Structure formats: C-alpha cells, structure tokens
Chain A
Amino acid sequence: MTKDELKIKFESLQEGLNFEEGTEWLTIPVESEGFKKFALLLRNDNELQFDYLFCLTAVDWKTHLSVVYHFSSTVFRHEVVIKVKIDKANPIVDTVCEIWRTAEFHEREAYDLLGVEFVGHPDLRRLFLTPDHEGFPLRKDYEDPINMIKL
C-alpha cells in the first residue's frame, strides 16, 4: 500500500489517530496506553502484516521520551513509523518482544542507554554497561565528569 492508502486504512481501523506531516513514511504518534493492542493489530491485520521491525529506538525530548518503532512488511513492502510518547519520570511502555523477537535486544539497548522500561520483557537488564552503572547516557541531562565527550 502507498502512504495515502495506509492512512485511509489506519483511519478505518482506529478512530482519533493523528498523523505527522512531511515525513517520508506514514508516521503515527500514539499514547502508551493500549499500545500492545495496537501493535498486535499491526502484525496481524491481513492488509497490513507488518512482520519486520527494522528499527527500535527512543529519543529524549527533555520534557518527555518518545519510543520510535520502524515497521515494514516483507509481504507488501510498505512501511510505517510509530512514535509512543512516554513520561520521563515514569518511562513505561509495553514490550513487543513476543510479536517481533528482534525487539528483545533492541529493547534492552533502549533500556540501557535511555532508561525506557518495557513492561513484560523477559530479561530486561543492561546490555552494554555494567549492572551497577548509574544514569542513562543517551539522555540529554546525563553528566559524566570523567568520560564526557564534549566538543
């Protein structure tokens, strides 16, 4: 499906969705509440079949965090970007690693570097840093007086 067709399809599936303007792929900001249900819809709807999660990351927007999912379908070759806005003080979002297994590592990375907590993840630990590390390096307010790289 093209971007416009996808937009019509999504509007028919769920009411009250917003779409970001001026993006290459259809970009949908959603709330973290009910995200799991939405994710299952993406995977299982016959006309969507987003079976390939090719990028999962998070962005610190200072006031809040947003978790960004890039989905693609190996059947229809269309893409969609989902952005889940979450609270910085309580960074909770449902895990998707039973739906897309690649999320298991990607979510651990996002937890390690940005402190996003994925509820229901089977093994949410730090991936790169040591378990006793304090703070989340990719957040904008992270300070490390010894190893900080500033140019």
Chain B
Amino acid sequence: MLEEVGTNDQGDMIINVGPQHPSTHGVLHLVITLNGETIKKVEPHLGYIHRSIEKMCESLSYRQFIYVTSRMDYLSSHINNHGCALCVEKGMQIEIPTRAQVIRVLMDELTRLASHLLWWGALAMDLGAFTPFFYSFRERELINELMEDTCGARLTMNYIVPGGVMMDLHPDFQRKVKEFLKLFKSKIHEYDDLVTGNIIFQNRTKGVGYISKEDAISFGCTGPTGRGSGLSCDIRKLYPYEIYNQLQFDEVIETSGDSWARYKVRVGEMVQSMHIIEQLIDNIPEGEFQAKTKAVLKLPKGDFYTRVETARGELGVYIVSEGGSTPYRIKFRSPGFSNLSALDHMSRGGKIGDLMATMGTLDLVIPDIDR
C-alpha cells in the first residue's frame, strides 16, 4: 500500500518490505513502523498469492483435491499430500499396506531434509553469506533427482494418494538413497564449519527474535519455531501416524527461544531425518503399494481432522463431509500462518537489521500462508 509510506503523527517512519523483496521468499508484504532503527510494529499484508484452495477443493473429488494441496507448501508437498490422504483414509477407514506406509515415511523424511537444506542455504544468504546456498543446493539436487525418478516431479509430487502411493518405487531408489546418505554424512560437518561455528552468524542470531514458551503456545507456533522455545510439539512423537511409533529418533528441543535456537533445531532435525531414512532404507517390506479402493471415494457424513508434521510444523486437515464425493467444507490449518502471526510479537523492540534473521528462522513459505 503505497500511500502508507512516510512518517506518521508520532514521527515514526513507515516502510514497506516486499512484496518483491528477496528476503521474503515470495510475495509477503510487511508494513513496518520504525522509530529510528527500532521496530515498533510489523504488519503482514497477505493475499498476493491467495488462490482460494479451500473453495476449489469443494468442487473437487477426494482423488482430485490432493493435486491442489501440493501447491500450498511447495517445499513439503509430499507431507501435504500425506495429511490429506490420511484424512480421507480416516473417514473411509482404509487400511493401507505396510510397504506403502514405509514408502510414505521415507518420502516425508527426504522431503523434510530437502526443505531444511533449502532453508539453511536461504537463511545464510539472507544474512549475507552467499556460499552456503551452493553447498546446500548441491545436496538438495540429489534428493530432487531421486524424487524425480520415482514421482516424475521435482517439486509438486502428488505421489501420496488415498490408499497408498501412486506407483511403486523406482528400481534405483534404494541405491541412490544410500549413495546420497553416504555423501550427506561426509558433508554435514561442512555445514557446522561454515555457518554454525561462525561467530558473525552466531552474533546475528543469538538473542534475536525471542519468543517464550507460553507465547509460542498462545500464538500456535509449531514445528521448529515451537521447539526452539522448548515446546514439545512434534506430531510424529505425540500423535504417531503410519510407522513413526516403531522408529528410533529424537525430538530436537532447544529452550532459548531465539533465532539461534530455531536454527539449532532444524540442523538437529536434518540429522534425525537421516537416522530415520537409514533405519528404513534396507527394510522396505515387499507387498502392495496401494490398498484396493473404490473408483469413487465417498466419505461418510461427519467431521474428520488429521495432523501431520511438515517441515514447518503442524499441518491440520479438517474435512466436513455431507456424505458426497466432494468435501462440503475443507480447512487447512497451515503451520506458516500461525508462525507468521507471531512475527510482530517477536520483532517488536528489535532492530530492523535483525528482522531478516527472525523471518529467516521462521522458514515462511508464502503459498502455505495464503493458500
């Protein structure tokens, strides 16, 4: 809103960040009230990429609406699909084969790894370090390639469908994942050498964008944002779905509540995701990759809600069904939306230069917020 630029009655300066700003990673528009360099208020203006996915889904069948949801949080499209598929399966009470469950978890964790890698590179770039971006994309490219083999897509996968997965794994999948793991293990220390141990990076993130545990709960912060404030909120641990209760992994929790804590949580999660993939890659059971379902899926009358852990936090899928083949009303509780609502609270009283560190560690994906 151009007319808002200038100085208000109290002598505070009002500036716009975005919607075309490299650090907002998309079309996020922030109107910031500044007193000198100190932030008094941050007001997000949304809607630049709002496609009304919820309205679209009302006229799509339970097989079709999966494809639209890949376009929400495009960095964890597998996990979006997963949440929707679980909700439909819960409504129809479909049991899915173990092979499909293992494939789903493998894909989820690879996606989480890819998403965190992109975040890691982009955060460092926001804070002025350009090299890490190339390092993380070098590894991320390998994940994209093996996804492409199996799903045929690199970003909007549409691979997880109600009843299982769309098709079986590519014959090269296991070999390529193992190659990737071997390479990733030899590279992950570089991340710590390059960024984590960097004193400039530490000074720019420690104590910046603080949010307490109570506020994190009140604002509905989940995922690494909530866990950075000491809140145990990993859906995989609290309400395990698929085979997560049979896997060994830790929920990474930091208690300092600042950007540094959120950084540490995500880096720790990369290692945990790697452990999960290692446990599963040699143990993919034989069998069907899809349960037998009817051609037209119909959910019984009622409300259905499922939660899954995306790379950004808790994704909720709420379907209200009237018994037909399309949802009567669908609501996606996206993690980014709630995390963004805390941005104003986190950055008030801080400096404008620190805003990018706060925003970077929230890991916002705008299509996820706008939907």
Name A residues whose Cβ lies closer than 8 Å to a Cβ of B. Answer: 22-25, 27, 51-55, 57, 59-60, 68, 70, 74, 77, 81, 100-102, 104-106, 109, 113, 127-130, 137-138, 149-151
Contact = CB atoms under 8 A, between A and B. Distances in A.
Interface in B33-81: 46-47, 50, 52, 54-56, 59-60
A54 B302 contact: no
For A22, A81, A102, A113, the residue with the greatest tally of chain B CB atoms inside 10 Å of its CB is A102
Given A51-B217, A52-B220, A57-B318, A101 B341 contact: yes
A100 B218 contact: yes
A89 B218 CA distance: 31
A22 B220 contact: no
A102 B329 contact: no
Given A57-B331, A100-B220, A137-B52, 17 more contacts: A52-B217, A54-B314, A54-B333, A74-B231, A74-B233, A81-B303, A100-B218, A102-B218, A105-B337, A105-B340, A105-B341, A106-B338, A127-B47, A128-B47, A128-B370, A137-B55, A149-B59
B305 interface: yes
B162 interface: no
A138 B305 CA distance: 19
A105 B335 CA distance: 12
Given A77-B238, A101-B341, A102-B219, A60 B329 contact: yes
Contacts of A151: 59-60
B55 A101 contact: no
Classify the secondary structure of A's interface with B: loop
Interface residues of B, number: 38
Contacts of A24: 304-305
Contacts of B50: 128-129
A110 B259 CA distance: 30
Contacts of B217: 51-52, 74
Contacts of A109: 337
Nearest to A74: B217
6 contacts: A25-B305, A101-B219, A101-B342, A109-B337, A127-B47, A137-B55
A100 B217 CA distance: 8
A129 B47 contact: yes
A81 B218 CA distance: 17
Which among A55, A77, A130 has the highest number of chain B CB atoms within 10 Å? A55
Contacts of A138: 52, 54-55, 329
Interface of B: 46-47, 50, 52, 54-56, 59-60, 215, 217-220, 231-233, 238, 302-305, 307, 314, 316, 318, 320, 328-329, 331, 333, 337-338, 340-342, 345, 370
A149 B47 contact: no
A151 B233 CA distance: 39
Contacts of B238: 77
Nearest to A53: B220
A87 to B, nearest CB: 18
A105 B23 CA distance: 22
B302 A105 contact: no
Among A53, A57, A100: residue with most chain B CB under 10 A: A57
Contacts of A101: 215, 218-219, 341-342, 345
Contacts of A52: 217, 220
A24 B87 CA distance: 12
B316 A70 contact: yes
Contacts of A113: 52, 54
Nearest to B371: A128
A103 to B, nearest CB: 9
A138 B58 CA distance: 9
A96 B218 CA distance: 11
Contacts of A137: 52, 55
A135 to B, nearest CB: 12
Contacts of B52: 113, 137-138, 149
